[in-house]
Structures are given as structure tokens and as C-alpha cells.
A and B are shown apart, each in its own frame.
Chain A
């Protein structure tokens, strides 16, 4: 009798100790391989003594209210619209096998926080599947520094309900199969494919799972996201010019005097997407782009202006990145408070940040090496959604403020914006030379800007006919350039 009592007390103590001990997330030794399949031994951690006990696994299950929750470090190549800030995988199937007293218990139900409608390789028939969305190279800051999530780049979670006690398990494996999507269809399939692998996995505490889920990593930039637990304000995106291309805006900065027509005094790449409600109203405005070339001697600020109804309001943030960096530059993110129109000074004092170390210019001298420019991203959530028809049409109003002259330079037929500019003060509103040429032009991403002092018309012999014909002839003029007079670095600016 005494023996039974001691055993019972002992068991209760162990159970209580397990229940009260803090559950700390653990990274597994195994991962999902580049073939899209992973058999993960739940009893092998990536570091230390390598052993995870069945009692520890049971503690995770209890901590998560009867679920085993796994964090995934999404690690994908940039296909479709995948990029460092947003990339995704599609989970086709999951199976958790737990061996207890030589009986294998299998669990196949699973959920993630997001879904999408994608077609499998070889098929065009799309179906809803669970997805995991993430990003590259971040550093998660959890409250518990002993957690393997702390300082890691784990992203989303996969939850599997397990309705038995697994504290006596002798083996436990979870198998994941990722969906091989039909990437030939472009997005969403190209985004939610698996390409680079390996996707690392961890078993996570309730606290860490909640933390990762609350971050909603990469979701804003991911295509066709359907939230599993709730409806979303933003269900679609319209892209200008497209989800993968950029506009190039090229300036002659000697306004109001005509320059050398090389249209490389400043070249900036940008694109805009509107996040729409299911009813088709704009709820979010996002933009991103790069500094591409600087062939002018003057110092510039570059703005993006989009006219909105006067009652429009919202908040957001602007982030700049130094070349090939995933972390924001010092001083960013900067908050954006929107009232009326959107007018963001995206880059300021460009002269001081975008130059070749051995030369004054950036990317416009034929003999100089390539200089990577800074990247920007902004996102603004509107307080009230706005009908698309009430927002300025693409390509919007990307404009330049020239510090050296005090003038602002817009596309033709746009108005001055900055009260302090010389042309706003003088009411000089025509943004064309006496010859009728603009000081700013919007060009397709494929366009290569001319080298320093090379007249655009010399290196694109069909351009004059294109414009004089009212854009009826030689629509592909920018694909017919004379290469020896053009930027030799192609689209290297898109890092």
C-alpha cells in the first residue's frame, strides 16, 4: 500500500514538474530537403546532447492545448514575386507518427495560418492548399533567450492536433510533403513553389508560436493570400506596371534649360501596388524601387506623389535598404502620416549616398564599374478604403527636387507640389523644353539608359519616329538601341 502511495506521489510530482517547467522551443536536426520532403525525427535536436525526450514532447503538446506546433524557416529562391522580404511554400501533406508500446499512432490533420489556390506541376487546375510564408535573414527576438527561435529566422507555423498522451513515446517522426507547383503559370504558383530548400523546422512553445503568428511575416507582399482564421481586408492586388516589372523614370535636371538629352541625370525604378478589398476598393498603397543611375552633377531629392481624395487619411512606413542588405538603413523605418494626397520624399540628398567610389557619377560612365543603388519600400494603410477611380492613374507623379537650382521637375502636365520650389514661386508650370521635349520620361524596365552626354535619339534611332508618330510606329524602339552608347550593366540595379 505504501509503495503504491509513493509511486502515485512520485508520478504526480513528475507530472507537475513537467507541467510547470517552462517549455522552450527547440530546433530539429532534420529539415525539409530540396526535393520537398522531410522526415523529421522529433527526438533529435540540432545542437547539444541531441536528445529530445518524449516527456519534453508531451510538454509541448500540453503547452499548445493538444497541438504539436512546428515553426518553419522558409528558405526559397527568388522566383515569381518571391524576394527576400516575402517568400512562400505550399504544404501538400503532413503526417505525425508516434510509436508507443510498439503501436504507431498517426495524425494527418494540420493547419497553417494562410492558404492559397495553386495548381500542381503539370496541371492548371487550382485547389486551395495551406501555405507558409516567410522572409530571408531576419532575427527573431523572443522573450526567452534560451529558445532556439531567439535570434533565428523562423517564419510561420504548422499546427497538428494530437489527442493522446505522448510522454511514453519511444519514437516520433513528422513527415512533410511540399506541393510541387506548376511554376510555368507564374504567380501564385511560382511564389508558393519550393526551390532552394532546405526548410528548417523547430518545435515551438505556445508563446513562441503566438509570437511568430502575430508577426504575419511576409504576408503583405505575398500574392493571393487567404487567411485561415479570419477574413482579410485586403484580398487582391493590382500592380503598376506589374508584380515583377518596374517603371523607370529618367530625368534631365537642368530645368528650365534643356540639357544634353542623355536622360540619365537621375534614373529611378519604381512600382506601385494597391491592396484591394473584395469589393475592389483601395485599402493599402505599397511601393518599392531602386536608385538606378545618377549622371547629373546636381544634388536631388526624389519624391513619389499620388493624388488622392482630400479626405483620404492613413498611416504607414517608409524603409530604405543599402545594397544587398535585408535590414533597414539607419534611421528607417520612418513613419508616414497621410492626409489628402500621398507625397513621399523617398530619397533625399541622393548625391551623398549614390556614387561610384572612384568617380562622381553612378553607372553612366562607360568605363566605370557598376554601383548598386539603395532600395526602398513603403506601405500605407488607408483609414477608409477609396474607389480606384478616385486615385491618380499610373504612372503617377514621380518628381525630382534639384537642390542646386531650387526647381522641381515633373512629368509634363503635372503640377508643382513643393511650396518652396523656385518654379512653384514663379508659376513656371510647363515641364517641357522649347523643343517640346519633357524633362522626365517614363520608360519600360527593359530600357537601357544612355551613357554620359549621349543623346537618347542617337542611341535609339527609332525613338524620334516613335514620338513623332504619336506612339503609333516603332513601339519597341527601346529594344533597338545601339549598345555601344548604352549602359552596359543591364538590370543589375535590381538586386
Chain B
């Protein structure tokens, strides 16, 4: 037995002991980091995914059901950011329906119905749209 080789032999064994677990560890880390990247190229789209940042909200307002004194009816619809989605004069004798496209982050819509008569108070209706539900 060559005594000089003994330490070398031990060193070689030592290397074997640490290289394989290290390699294994690196492989695991790499696979974990691969899965956790947020890049689109690393994340194929799963089923039932969606890309829409807006919700379609259907508005329906029964104009004649609100008794106002004025000759005209005006309607304004805006979200909680102040974005105006509808504004103008509407028929006095109709149920008014229209679709809007609101941001998914919007929490509510405010619907105001008013007339030109100063004696009329504005009718204000607030609708929760945080779940994207239809009105």
C-alpha cells in the first residue's frame, strides 16, 4: 500500500460524496426556478385562461318608472374612477338598454337620471360590478 496515495484516495472519495448531491440540488433548483419564472415564454397557457381586462355590463333602466317633472330626461353612467360610459338625453317613455365595457378593476357604476327642471332631484342608482355581473 502506498501511504502517499491514501490521502488522495480519501480526497477522491470525498469529492464523489459532494458532487452528486450538489448536481442533484442544482437540478432541482433549476427545475423549480424554471416553473416559477413569470415570463410568457416559460408559461404555456392553461385551459380556461382568459385575457380580458374588461367586463361587458348590460344596463337596463326603466325611464318612465321614475316620476320627474321636467320635459326631458338625461342619463349619465360612470364608474368609480369617474370614467363616463354613457351621457345624453333619452326618451321619456322607454326602457333603455345598452351594453357597456367596464374595467375589471372597477367596483361600481353610478347611474344618474335627471331632468332640466330644477325642482327634480337627480335619481342616483349605484350598482356593484366587482363580480362582473350583469345588471
Contact = CB atoms under 8 A, between A and B. Distances in A.
Contacts of A126: 74, 114, 116, 122
Contacts of A471: 50-53, 104
Contacts of B100: 238, 240
B49 A238 contact: no
Contact of A436 (B49, B83, B98): B49
Interface in A105-162: 117, 124-128
Contacts of A442: 51-54
B85 A476 contact: no
A463 B38 contact: yes
Contacts, number: 170
B94 A236 contact: no
B46 A468 contact: yes
A261 B54 contact: no
**Residue of B72, B86, B122 with most chain A CB atoms under a 10 A cut-off:** B86
Contacts of B40: 261, 435, 437, 455-457, 463-464
A10 interface: no
Contacts of A81: 84
Interface in A412-441: 412, 432, 435-438, 441
A449 to B, nearest CB: 14
Contact of B116 (A117, A241, A245, A412): A117
A389 B41 CA distance: 38
A443 B53 contact: yes
Interface string B26-43: 000000000001111111
B118 A241 contact: no
Contacts of A245: 83
Contact of A241 (B44, B45, B103): B103
Contacts of B104: 471, 475
A244 interface: yes
Contacts of A128: 116
Contacts of A22: none
Contacts of B105: 444, 475-476
A188 B89 contact: no
| Category for how many chain A residues contact B | 35 or more
B72 A280 contact: no
A186 B97 CA distance: 23
Interface string A474-492: 0110100000000000000
A458 interface: yes
B134 interface: no
Contacts of B52: 442, 471
A467 B50 contact: yes
Interface in B59-101: 72, 74-76, 78-79, 82-91, 94, 96-101
B43 A239 contact: no
Contact of A127 (B56, B87, B90, B118): B118
A223 interface: yes
Contacts of A240: 100-101
A464 B38 contact: yes
A11 interface: no
B85 A238 contact: yes
A65 interface: no
A238 B85 CA distance: 6
Nearest to B121: A125
Interface in A223-252: 223-224, 226, 235-245
Contacts of A441: 51
A258 B103 CA distance: 28
A92 interface: no
A220 interface: no
A239 B84 contact: yes
A413 B100 CA distance: 20
B99 A436 contact: no
Contacts of B96: 280
Contact of B86 (A236, A458, A478): A236
B70 to A, nearest CB: 9
B41 A261 contact: yes
A187 interface: yes
B12 interface: no
Contact of B43 (A226, A242, A464, A478): A464
Interface of A: 81, 117, 124-128, 186-188, 223-224, 226, 235-245, 258, 260-261, 276, 278-280, 388, 393-395, 412, 432, 435-438, 441-444, 455-458, 460-464, 467-468, 470-471, 475-476, 478
Given A258-B41, A442-B52, 9 more contacts: A126-B122, A236-B87, A236-B88, A240-B101, A435-B44, A435-B45, A444-B103, A468-B49, A471-B51
18 contacts: A81-B84, A117-B114, A125-B121, A187-B87, A224-B87, A241-B54, A243-B85, A244-B84, A278-B91, A393-B101, A394-B56, A435-B41, A436-B46, A443-B53, A455-B41, A456-B40, A468-B45, A471-B50
